[in-house]
Amino acid sequence: MWIDAIYDQTDDWIAEIEALTGTRVYEDHALDVHNLGHPSFFDSTETYEMIVFRGLVPGTGQIRIETQPLYFFRFDRLLATLHPVESRITDQIRERYRVPGARTPRNPDELAHRILSATIDQYLDLRGAMTTRLEKWQRDLLNPRRPFNDWNGLLEQRNEVSKLEHLSEGQLDAVQEWRDARFDQMSDEMQVRFTDLSEHIHRVLVHARRIEAQIESAVQLHFSAVSHRTSEIIRTLTLITAIFMPLTLITGIFGMNFELIPGLHSQYGFWLILGGMGIAAIVMWLYFRARRWV
């Protein structure tokens, strides 16, 4: 049996579970259902198990990741799921079972696995969008013709990736704890399925860590490129200063206000000094080229 309810409405689902199973849901667990910020979590009692799994809010994009909790109460022959009104996961699963010839779940574990698998698929689909967004950040950071100024946007993106990483860690812990608690009671097929479920969550976790590392690498490359360009500019200005330094010295000497300066009144003095300054500049340029400073 499957009870599917919206958790921001009344608590009629509690009475329905009690009527069908003869089991009363613990008050703490019933209160947890109203906690929209509840992390992924697993807890078990003598008569049922409770799983909290955070799924993506419909319409979540690659820039901001928004999640909401999905609650599972698993009994021996019944699964109760509670979700927000905007969630479409359980509706999609229900529509699949209404298709003629579709195989319905044989037990609560199989039904819970299908719902969790559909929820995790949303995170797997998010990876492509996040990778595309990362490539844009990398191009912007390493573009030499356009200074990068959107540091707030980059920080926000990095925070969202960190959020996805922490979210995946919590999901992985909850699913593994549930799997370990029921491992001896599951069929071999369900053991394999829940192992695959954990591997899918781990793939999302690994991708989040890879994206975070690539963002850090792109930022480091950006600062290295900026430092390199700054060094090139300083070197060019230093070479120009070094070339013009002797020319400035010669100009300063002949600009002194002494009455007698050799060659000052010569009709060829200006051209000789100008030629000497040009030769000095060329010699220094060739010297710098020979030393591979230019």
Q: How many Å apart are CA 250 and CA 260, to the nearest integer?
A: 16
Which residues constitute the domain of residue 268? 235-290
* Dihedral angle of Cα 31, 32, 37, 41, to the nearest 10 degrees: 170
274 and 185 in a common domain: no
Domain boundary among 173, 205, 227: 227
What's the pTM value of the predicted model, to 2 decimals? 0.74
Helix (H, G, I), strand (E, B) or coil at 49: strand
> Which is more confidently placed, 18 or 93?
18
CATH number, domain of 275, equals 1.20.58.340
Q: Encode pLDDT of 105-157 as tens digits.
A: 788 888 888 888 888 988 888 888 888 888 888 888 888 788 888 888 888 88
Residues 133 and 263 in one domain: no
* Structural domains of the chain, count: 2
Q: Do the strands 2-6 and 67-74 form a parallel or antiparallel pair, or are they unpaired?
A: unpaired
Last residue of some domain: 227, 252, 282?
A: 227
Choose the final residue of a domain: 192, 227, 262.
227
Inform me whether the pLDDT recorded for 100 exceeds 80: no
Residue 239 sits in the same domain as residue 218: no
Mean pLDDT of the chain: 84
168 and 36 housed in the same domain: yes
Assess whether 147 and 91 both reside in one domain.
yes
- Are 253 and 188 in the same domain? no
In a shared domain, residues 165 and 241: no
The whole-number pLDDT of residue 173 equals 92
Cβ atoms 37, 16 nearer than 8 A = no
Instruction: Report how far residue 242's alpha carbon sits from residue 283's, in angstroms, rounded to the nearest whole number.
Output: 12
User: Residues 16-61: pLDDT tens digits?
Assistant: 888 888 888 888 888 888 888 889 999 988 888 999 999 888 766 5
87 or 244: which leads in pLDDT: 244
Residues 176, 275, single domain; the answer is no
Over residues 167-207, the pLDDT tens digits come to: 999 999 998 888 888 877 878 888 888 888 889 999 999 99
Residue 9's pLDDT is what? 62
Percent of the chain with pLDDT over 70: 96
